[in-house]
Amino acid sequence: MDLLDAIILAIIEGITEYLPVSSTGHMIIASSFMDIASEPFTKLFTIVIQLGAILAVVVLYWKRFFQSLDFYFKLLVAFIPAVILGLLLNDVIDDLLESPLTVAISLIIGGFILLKVDDWFASNEIEDKENPTAHTEISYATALKIGFFQCLAMIPGTSRSGASIVGGMTQKLNRKTAAEFSFFLAVPTMFGATAKKLYDYYQAGFELNSDQINYLILGNVIAFVVSLIAIKSFIDYLSKKGFKIFGYYRIVLGVALFVIHYFIYSLTTI
């Protein structure tokens, strides 16, 4: 990985982390095309720079992080499923992180779901207009269920934000509330994933050199700035327009990736 690779991946992370299009999937695609996907540092980089994106949430919603202990307990409850399954499936997840084909299939399946999700949960938005507080309360049971939905994102291409937002909507939250809770849940989830990835990296005998440390710092700064813009734009668009455009985007990208994968595979077997 060189400096340009790091900048490109950081911009992709900042744009896609909070959109229901899979930031990990996009970085796997990009790193595969840049021929750096299998490098241990690339895998570390794609996880660690998510911290920058997380800080964007903390800055934009800083008042929410000081409202009550109940808020933190609910985030903890929602975070627990990812901790357990993440530890159990760590090796499987690492293998999937090298598979553009897995990303393609996940993008397509998730795309079709997003095309229908606005219709499935239209009543959430209708009732919310009549009673603005009807679908904004998050119980501990709801938080836990959203946490299980988030675990679907361990499959690259699924989208952590997409899975947790849809999970919230199944619990009768409106789009805006479900999206914001998904953003908040990203904070402990990504901190945990980063700590685990750094631990595994050093346990495997790797060390960070000065260039790599600089790439991580730069990547986090870029991801932070880009995420600030992306979060504001996404919440505004989602509240007004819904998920369909993201569904179409996922399907087109997934099909294109699927075709490219098999075209390259056919060339290598000639």
Per-residue model confidence (pLDDT) at position 94: 63
Per-residue model confidence (pLDDT) at position 12: 93
Residue 28 CA to residue 145 CA, distance in Å, equals 28
Vertex 222: Cα angle to 61 and 66 (nearest 5): 15
| CA-closest candidate to residue 143, choices 114, 179, 185 | 185
Per-residue model confidence (pLDDT) at position 222: 95
Per-residue model confidence (pLDDT) at position 130: 47
pTM of the model: 0.81
| CA-closest candidate to residue 147, choices 194, 243, 80, 192 | 80
Per-residue model confidence (pLDDT) at position 157: 81
Per-residue model confidence (pLDDT) at position 132: 46
CB 157 within 8 A of CB 100: no
Stretches in the chain below the pLDDT threshold 70: 37, 90-99, 124-136, 261, 264-270
Per-residue model confidence (pLDDT) at position 114: 92
Residue 161 CA to residue 17 CA, distance in Å, equals 7
CB 45 within 8 A of CB 216: yes
Encoded tokens for 246: 């993201």
